[in-house]
Amino acid sequence: MLQLEKPMVDERIQKETNRFFAKLFFFQTLFVIGGMVMQIVNPVPLRVFCLQIICLVVGIGFALIQLITKGVFWLKAKDDALISIREEILAVAYSLEFIILLLGDCVFIFFEKEYSSWNVLYCFEWMIPAWIYVVIGIKHSWIQWGGKARQINGKKLLKKLWIPAMVAAVFMIILLELPDWLEDKVFSGNEIFAVSVIVIGIPMGSYFLMKKIVDAGEKRANKMLEELEKQEEMTLEE
Amino acid sequence: MKNKRMKIARIECDLTQEQLAEKVGVARQTIGLIEAGNYNPSISLCIDICKALNKSLDELFWPQEE
């Protein structure tokens, strides 16, 4: 079996991802502010948009404190090292906002039944920037296995995630649907089918989606290398 | 600027780009980009590459006088 000598922590990918996340931070922040404006226009109780307030306070607060304390809030000279520190801070701020929106969205699904339609907005707020990253990440091959040996180990790791994903799906059913089913005291064939689709479908769907995304990034990375090799051959011929 | 010395050292060690990438913990593409002169690695990555190829920093990365 192929063993990895070192886990892949590629500084080039890290730098390029940070640069992109720094841009996504501003995009996601504007997106969340836009969502808040929508909720102010269509008045909703404070508890419904407190998720967005927490997201903005934590994200912007973290970015401001870090940028000021590290002295990179305003850069007079274009210094590569300072720019990369700044991008790293904004990338962490983006990740914080993303995690808060994702977790908050899950909490919102479970506990807010009255205004559940707003859940779509919260989904868009974390999902759209995340999908932009996936598309651009594949294009620039930031998302990749990093070689054949890593591909084998990566796929094994993804398969190991099936069990936690199934447990999460069962947990989701218990919290979301079980009280209603128990109230009806009827557990019909349709409901059993729905449960099996969620418990098997979610982990399976996530596995194949992840695999497909990373495979696409890997393919793109290989194509990029082939192009580099071709360029080199051409210069040698010249 | 292309890094032919690194490519030669890698071939001398009988390593493919992928094997060297695994040794130093980066993607194969990054090694390809360094060899093609399209990416400037950090000093710590340069040191890792030198260790993997049993060469000094001077031998692989110091610009040669024409």
Q: At B45, which CATH number?
A: 1.10.260.40
% of residues, chain A, pLDDT over 70: 92
Amino acid at A117: S
Select the highest-mean-pLDDT range: A44-53, A224-233, B10-19: B10-19
Each residue of A194-203: pLDDT tens digit?
777 778 888 8
Question: Is the domain of A131 the same as that of A149?
Answer: no
A2 domain-assigned: no
CB contact under 8 A, A221 and B27: yes
The amino acid present at A230, given as its one-letter code, is K
pLDDT band at A2 (very low <50, low <70, confident <90, very high): very low
The mean of the pLDDT values for chain A is 84
Both A149 and A132 in one domain: the answer is no
A129: in domain: yes
B53 inside domain: yes
Q: Count how many pairs of residues, chain A against chain B, have C-beta atoms within 8 Å.
A: 66
CA–CA distances in Å: residue A37 to residues A32, A33, A34, A219, A229: 9, 6, 5, 41, 51
pLDDT number for residue A189: 67
Same domain for A204 and A118?
Answer: no
A204 Rama sector, left if φ>0, alpha if ψ -120 to 50, beta otherwise: alpha
Amino acid in position A14: Q
- Kindly state whether residue B12 falls inside one of the protein's structural domains: yes
Q: How many domains does chain A have?
A: 2
Q: For residue A175, what pLDDT band results from cuts at 50, 70 and 90?
A: confident
pLDDT digits (tens, 9 = 90+) for A118-165: 888 888 999 999 999 999 999 988 888 887 778 888 888 888 888 888
Domain extent, residue A181, equals: 145-238
Is A193 contained in some domain?
yes
Minimum CA–CA partner of A233 in chain B: B36
Half-sphere exposure of A28 (CA within 13 A, CB side): 36
Does some domain include residue B66?
A: no
Return residues 5-34 of B near A (CB < 8 Å): 17-18, 21-30, 32-33
Give the domain range for residue B31: 4-59
Residues A139 and A222 in one domain: no
| Burial (CB count within 10 angstroms: exposed 0-12, middle 13-18, buried 19+), residue A166 | middle
- Residue B33's CB is within 10 A of a number of other CB atoms, namely 20
Nearest C-alpha of chain A: how many angstroms from B7?
Answer: 12
| For testing contact with chain B, the best of A1, A11, A142 (most B CBs within 10 A) | A11
**Residue B64 covered by a domain:** no
Q: Is B38 in contact with A13 (Cβ distance < 8 A)?
A: no
Q: Which two tokens stand for residue A73?
A: 């809030």
Q: Residue A188 pLDDT > 90, yes or no?
A: no
Domain boundary among A86, A119, A143: A143
Whether pLDDT at A112 is above 90: no
pLDDT digits (tens, 9 = 90+) for B22-43: 899 898 889 988 998 888 999 9
Q: Which of A143, A175, A192 represents a domain boundary (last residue)?
A: A143
Residue A3 is predicted with a pLDDT of 44
Domain count within chain B: 1
What is the sign, positive or negative, of the torsion defined by CA atoms of A127, A133, A138, A144?
Answer: negative
Among the ranges A47-56, A106-115, B45-54, which has the highest mean pLDDT value?
B45-54
Supply the DSSP string of A49-96, one letter for each residue.
HHHHHHHHHHHHHHHHHHHHHTT-SS-SS--HHHHHHHHHHHHHHHHH
- H or E stretch covering A184: helix A178-184
Residues of chain A positioned with their CB less than 8 A from the CB of B18: 147-149
Q: In this structure, are A29 and A138 located in the same domain?
A: yes
The interface pTM score, or ipTM, of the predicted complex is: 0.84
For chain A, the maximum distance between any two Cα atoms, rounded to a whole number of angstroms, is 80
Dihedral-angle region of residue A146 (phi above 0 means left; psi in -120 to 50 means alpha; beta otherwise):
left
A89 touches A72 (CB < 8 A): yes
pLDDT tens digits along A63-74: 999 999 998 888
pLDDT (mean) for B30-57:
92
Which are the contacts of A170, defined by CB distance < 8 A and separation ≥ 6?
A199
Is residue A128 domain-shared with residue A181, that is, in the same domain? no
Give a yes or no: residue A130 inside a domain: yes
